[in-house]
């Protein structure tokens, strides 16, 4: 079963708009929540990550919001640009027992129109 559920499957945003991608998880043992960005023909690359001891993390135009009680986290891309068009994956990891084993969401294909 999918332990990390991601939505929407695809998203179209106008340049300058806000892109929001949501993820929900089931396993309360997860303690690390990264977002990966994947461009066509490339492997995923770490974009930003958060641990459950904070509710928000911001890096430039990218922000993760984390709601521990709801077991949800989301990626916000402010002032979205055509260069942000990519597939985004949320993921989760149980650090204490599974090492670097990541459980991924289904992915969201983001298109930013100029």
Footprint of other proteins on this chain (CB under 8 A)?
2, 4, 6, 9, 32, 34, 36, 41-46, 49, 89, 93, 95, 99-102, 104-107
20 or 102, CB closer to other proteins?
Answer: 102
Is the Cα dihedral 65, 24, 26, 48 positive or negative? negative
Nearest-approach distance from CB 32 to other proteins, in angstroms = 6
Q: How far apart are CA 12 and CA 19, in angstroms?
A: 8
Nearest-approach distance from CB 52 to other proteins, in angstroms = 13
Enclosing H/E stretch for 107:
none
Nearest-approach distance from CB 100 to other proteins, in angstroms = 5
Q: Are 13 and 75 in contact (CB under 8 A)?
A: no
6 or 85, CB closer to other proteins?
Answer: 6
* Kind of pairing between the strands at 108-113 and 10-14: parallel
Nearest-approach distance from CB 13 to other proteins, in angstroms = 21
Q: Within the chain, where are the H helices?
A: 95-98
1 or 14, CB closer to other proteins?
Answer: 1
């Amino acid at each position: 079963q999918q332990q990390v559920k991601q939505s929407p499957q695809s998203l179209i945003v106008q340049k300058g708009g806000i892109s929001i991608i949501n993820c929900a998880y089931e396993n309360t043992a997860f303690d690390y929540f990264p977002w990966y960005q994947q461009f066509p023909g490339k492997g995923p690359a770490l974009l930003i990550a958060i641990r459950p001891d904070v509710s928000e993390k911001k890096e430039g135009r990218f922000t993760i919001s984390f709601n521990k009680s709801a077991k949800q986290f989301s990626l916000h891309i402010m002032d979205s640009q055509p260069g942000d068009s990519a597939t985004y994956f949320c993921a989760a990891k149980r650090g204490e027992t599974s090492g670097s084993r990541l459980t991924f969401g289904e992915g969201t294909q983001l298109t930013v129109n100029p």
